[in-house]
Amino acid sequence: MSDLRHVLVLPDRDAAEEAAEEVGERFGVTEEPQLVRDALAGEDDAEDAQWLLVLEDPDGRLVAAELDEFAARWDGWREEP
């Protein structure tokens, strides 16, 4: 099975950090999720950035619908691969 990666898009750094703290407890993720700042095209203001929470899922255990619901708690969403 190929390694899977899930990307949750969150509206700001606070939401991303909160989600990163909770994702291990909620889904049993043992590998530290990666937080990545994604500046919106054409935006100079650092506040106008989305944050990506990248979850490695080598065993394919994470369920897309559950991740969608989890990200929605912070007005975010899961990117389709």
Distance CA 12, CA 56 (A): 21
Residue 76 has pLDDT above 80, yes or no: yes
Residue 1 has pLDDT above 50, yes or no: no
Give me the domain span that covers residue 56.
4-79
Higher pLDDT, 48 or 57: 57
> Do 19 and 67 form a contact (C-beta atoms < 8 A)?
no
Mean pLDDT of 30-38: 90
Full-model pTM: 0.85
Which residue, 13, 53, 50, 18, is CA-closest to 34?
Answer: 53
Report the number of distinct structural domains present in the chain.
Answer: 1
The CATH number given to whatever domain includes residue 34 is 3.30.70.3450
Mean pLDDT lowest among 19-23, 52-56, 57-61:
57-61
